Structure formats: structure tokens, C-alpha cells
Amino acid sequence: MDIAGPPRDREPASAAPVSDDAFADMMAAVGPFEANPRLAVAVSGGGDSMALCLLAQRWAGRRRGSTTALTVDHGLRPEAADEARQVGRWLKARGVAHHVLEWRGPKPVSGIQAAARAARYGLMTAWAREAGVLHLLVAHHQEDQAETFLLRLERGSGIDGLSAMAAVVETPAVRLVRPLLGVPRARLRATARAFGQEWLEDPSNRDAAFARTRIRAALPALARSGMSPAVLAEKANRVGHVRIALENAASALLAVCCTVHPAGYARLDQSTLAAAPEDVSFRALARILMCVGGREYAPRREKLERLHAVVVGGKLGQARTLGGCRILAERYRILVCREMRGMPEPLAAVPGTQVVWDGRFVIRFAATGEGAPRPRHPAHLTRLGREGWAEVAADRPDLKGAPVPAAVRLSLPALRDELGVFAVPHLYYTRAGGCGPGVGFGRIAFCPPNSISGVGFRLA
């Protein structure tokens, strides 16, 4: 364990600590916050995150709020558990609540940094959801922004990638907030010293096997040639403004050319989409696919470009699939619905529980038929499928004329028991007569990871 801090003055003497007033301005730029704000802060134990945590504690305390520090033990280094305990001791002495979240289970052989990052945010987001905390603060700073810009430039990223990290990322559970993106690392180390706070040095930050470490090592030479972290971060900021303009234009286009149904499909007007500027219609199509397909990210650009060309060119012809979606032509409209491939396996339906099904529907189960004899086998949530639709159509022939398109029906969430299909809420179908499974749909809502409107990229 390497401990650094006040006795080991490695940063430029000119670096000024972040004052309470300056931090208040930074927080105002990434607001709003509720009265008596409750904050979670990602604290690795490094100088940056320790400084953020102590600034956040003072900021929240002055507003009669609270701060909780979250440290993730990835289990990748034997000393990590001791380091997490050390962070806890430091923070306990300052009256900051602290939780250690452990990444359990097997670790991947390759792509370990990306996997660790996903696990870290997954654990912290889950904690925030359970605790009812709306804001998760992360200590990414100016050098982090510059490194991210260079990494993505090296990889040939487009506008979205080169705009680097957003100051605020809205997720279904928590707001990921980065108030320090404009602050140099030296000021954060100076801030920790001003608090009289030691910190840990992570040896993995010096591991040359990682691309970010290599980029970090190149920053001093770039700074001498006029490409300082401040300059690089500003370039990312300028690209961010372009991204925001494109996102706003895509949102305006979608508002007039696209409708989304609660059953999880979309229809768009082909001529309106085709009349829009190419960069805008391309972004709008990507957003539709992410929404309907329930995906975190858009499909690969080259595949999306091919689909975009045939859609705006009016040459869709036979149905295409991309990003978990099926795309079909309907006269002057385009239907985008969930494809059948990759649908989830049947899931037990238990009254009082809530699940996210197919990554798109939030479903809460309720008890039904209290006092009625229960079937021998439990009910399961599954896709309707061809066999299920045949059962429903035989029982209710009138549903053949239901407004939900035929291409959509087979992927609809349905409740089954040993007697067959019991309920399909988007078709307003419930099996009549006989014994029910004792459970039904209490609530169902289409809530994909990315809505059709998007959450919007945001600069501080």
C-alpha cells in the first residue's frame, strides 16, 4: 500500500486548493439538487477522490444533506481489501459514512479494465438505487478528460466519442455527476493537502500494459508542444457543443416523424426522415434502434450506415434486422420492432416482485384469484411466440384485428401456466374461465435503457 499526502509534496507549488465557493459553483453547474441533498461519492482512496469526498461532505452539510463514500474492492490485487479498510478509517475519523462494495465471481482474462469499470459502476448504481440516493459523484478531472479525448481520437471515434466525458449522465437509477472535469489534478492534490488528508497511490496507474497509462505518460511532452491537458479538454468541450446541437436537431426530428407504442415498437415517417440533414437522420435512426432494441449503445457505424441508406432512400424492400430490431416497410412508414432472436428465457412470476424483462419492460406481478385452487406448476413470464399467439387467436378471434402489428405480437410479454397463455396485457387479453395461476400483471411499463428522446449529452 502506497500512502501519499501532505508530507510528499509532488504537485506544483502554484496549484491552489479548490475553495468551498468554487466547489459550490461547480455543483451548481451540474444541478439541480433536492433540498437536503443526499450524495454518494465514488472513493478509490486516491488524492482526487478523497478531495472530492471531503468537498462534497462540506457542501452537503451546509445544505443539511449527507454524503456517503463508496469504495469498490475489485478483488484484483491482494492488498485491495486493506486499502479499502484504510479509506474507511480515514473517512470515519471525518464523520463520513463509508461502504465497501465487493466485485465477486470470476474475472475475465482480457479486457479487465473495461470489465472492472462496468462492475464498479454496476455495484455503485445498485447501492444508490437501494438507498434512494439520486446523485453519484465521480472525481474525473481535467487530465482524465484530456486522456479520454486522446484515447478516442486514437481509436478513430466520431463526434460522440470525441466529446469525451459528460458532466452529467442520467441513468434510470442515479445521476452520474462529474463536477471536477475542468479542474487540474494538481489542484485536487492541493485540496487534499489543505484538508490535511493523506491518500493512496494505485500501482495499476503505472502499468504500461494499459493504453490510458501510455497516453498519460505522453501528456507532459504534448504540453510542451502546446497541447496541454487544458487545451485538450477544451477541444473535447467544443466537440461536445457540436454533439449537443446534433442531439437537439435529432430530437426535433423524432418529435415530428416518429411515434413509440407502449408495446415496445415504433413507427416513423420515411419521407420526413429522408428530408432531414444526413447527420441528423442518421442519429435519429440510431436512437430509435437503441430504444426499441433495448440496447445501451448504437449498432456499429458501418452496419448502421447501410441500413440508413436503404431507409432514407426508400429502398428497404424486405425486412432487415439490426441492433435487436426488425425493420419493415409499411407503405410510407417504417415499422421498427423487436426481433425474435435473443429473447429472454422464461422467468418465474412471483406476486409482489418486480423484474426488468428483455431489458425493456419493467413488470410488477400482483396476486390474482385469491382463494382459488392453485395450479400444480408456477406461472412464467415469456414471449408470446407463434404457439402462444395461436392459442390467443383461437380463444379470442377478434384480436386478429388488434392494432398491434402482426410483426410485434410474437415478441410481446405474456404470462403462461400449465394450461397455456394466461395474460397478454398489450393485447388486453386474459384467459376467461377455469383456474388462474394466482399471479398476474400488476404493472407493466416500456422503460428501455435509452428512451427515444435520449437523456442528452451535458457539459458543465
The whole model's pTM is what? 0.83
CATH 3.30.429.10 applies to domain 2-227: no
Amino acid at site 447? C
* Cα–Cα dist 219/87, whole Å: 29
| 337 phi and psi angles, rounded to 5 deg | -135, 170
Specify the fold of 244-338: Chorismate Mutase Domain, subunit A (1.20.59)
What's 349's DSSP letter?
Answer: -
Domain map of the chain by residue range?
A: 2-227, 244-338, 347-446
Across 206-324, where does the E strand assignment appear? 258-261, 265-269, 320-322
Closest residue by Cα to residue 304 from 288, 331, 322: 322
* Cα–Cα dist 222/242, whole Å: 25
**Long-range contacts (CB closer than 8 Å, 24 or more residues apart) made by 402-406:** 402/427, 402/428, 404/261, 404/263, 405/265, 405/335, 405/337
* Cα–Cα dist 234/236, whole Å: 5
Say which residue the cell 492488498 belongs to: 79
* Cα–Cα dist 189/229, whole Å: 16
pLDDT at position 13 is 47
pLDDT at position 9 is 44
Q: How far is CA 65 from CA 37, 137, 159, 399, in A?
A: 5, 14, 37, 53
Nine-digit cell at 344?
Answer: 429472454
Nine-digit cell at 453?
Answer: 428522446
Provide the residue-wise pLDDT of the chain in tens; the chain has 460 residues.
566 655 444 455 468 999 999 999 999 999 999 999 999 999 999 999 999 999 999 999 999 999 999 999 998 888 899 999 999 999 999 999 999 999 988 888 788 888 989 999 999 999 999 999 999 999 999 999 999 999 999 988 889 999 989 999 988 789 999 999 999 999 999 999 999 999 998 776 666 667 888 898 899 999 999 999 999 999 999 999 999 999 999 999 999 999 999 999 999 999 999 999 999 999 999 999 999 999 988 999 999 999 999 999 999 989 999 999 999 999 889 999 999 999 999 999 999 999 999 999 999 999 886 544 454 568 999 999 999 999 999 999 999 998 999 999 999 999 999 899 999 999 999 998 767 888 999 999 999 988 888 777 888 7
